[in-house]
Amino acid sequence: MPIATVNPATGETLKTYDALGDAEIEHRLATAEAAFRAHRTTSFEERARLMHRAADLLESDAPEIGRTMTVEMGKPVKQARAEAAKCAKAMRWYADHAEELLADEEGAKNDAEDSGASRVLVRYRPLGPVLAVMPWNFPLWQVIRFAAPALMAGNVGLLKHASNVPQTALYLEDLFRRAGFAEGCFQTLLVGSGAIEDILRDPRIKAATLTGSEPAGRAVASVAGDEVKKTVLELGGSDPYVVMPSADIDKAAKTAVTARVQNNGQSCIAAKRFIVHTDVFDAFAERFTEAMKALTVGDPLDEGSDVGPIATEQGRDDLVELVDDAVEGGATVLCGGERPDGDGWYYLPTVLADITPEMRIHHEEAFGPVATLYRAADLDEAVAIANDTPFGLSSNVWTRDEAETDRFVRDLEAGGVFFNGMTASHPAFPFGGVKRSGYGRELSGHGIREFCNITTVWHGA
């Protein structure tokens, strides 16, 4: 895939970039190693000052970088500006909390004495340069939720961003430079996917994080495992959205639309499979389908557009294949199910019912504004359908029954359970999945400690 900005609303190639050569990659790895030796010794106070400065710059740049993101990958521009604001919030959160999250942990006195020590503590030390392989769908947020905790912990970062968002990738490097972080603390590597293995195998790279597809995660984890290097993976998701009889159906249906089509439906944590108790199925399906049909599909730079194009032509082709396969297998199209005429890689918001396990869409992630509806006879069937997926990123449940709440928390196979609302990430709470959605956690104290050397410090009596 060429490194280029291709406007998905028109299909027009706007700007292309040459991939870095071997000499330039070597220079950047050497620069990262040197930067780490200095950055690791800086104080939390100094790192926080720089991170706050970066957040301020990002906030002021939001209109410009928001437009850049929209042109590169097609999200509605109002959502792009909101993404920039969310990033600034996370940067400030880590600037204000990193020292506390990574403070030395004093061992209990009786345990220290039992080990023959006068004192034992745990200290969190940075690992070194971390390689981040990031996707295009949230081109700022996916990076910042790695970069902010990594830099605050004393690590340095090298970003291999998706090849269709090069301008956003270069902006991120420039952002941290303008904020005052030393040269090499955060660098963008404009390289193709074929260069990742050699970079990851380089001994100066100490760990890697990847958000992306399951095949990409397998490839990176395989190389990192061979090199015995730590990885954090956030891969695909096919999140369930369960609606039980006690739910506020109007609110559940309204929220369901946003949960499915945010970011043009191209989000790992978007609700994709809507599992509705039979007692309220018809009411929910009617409200949900009418709201999906009412969405405005159009130019993502237009403030009135609710849904823009799919980010790549291949992505739309993949979505078309999934829907066509379901329809051929007997699925009912309640709305959408087709490409509109005209330029760009658009796809109409779609609701499919009568899904069976034989259909690809039952097991594969639909990365676009396509929802599947399931009817569940009771709670047990709802849980069974929800868990009948190789993924386990997050989940959504609408119920006001406390006993049902306890059952869903106990039984759903996911990294998060969100009740009476939609899944969202927040810097204070851990984010990640189970099964083929990956492993490890981002955000919160759990996320900042993922790339730390958790060191036992023992003092003899």
Residues taking part in catalysis: 234, 268
Per DSSP, 184 falls in state T
Q: Contact, 414 vs 392, CB < 8 A?
A: yes
**What radius of gyration do the chain's Cα atoms show?**
23
Strands 117-126 and 105-106: antiparallel
Q: Contact, 394 vs 239, CB < 8 A?
A: yes
Q: Which helix (H) or strand (E) holds 173?
A: helix 166-179
443 to each of 82, 185, 434, how far by Cα in Å? 18, 20, 16
- State the Cα–Cα distance between residues 268 and 270, nearest whole angstrom: 6
First-last CA distance in the chain? 61
Q: Contact, 378 vs 45, CB < 8 A?
A: no
Q: Which of 285, 274, 289 is nearest to 239 (CA)?
A: 274
Q: Contact, 141 vs 84, CB < 8 A?
A: no
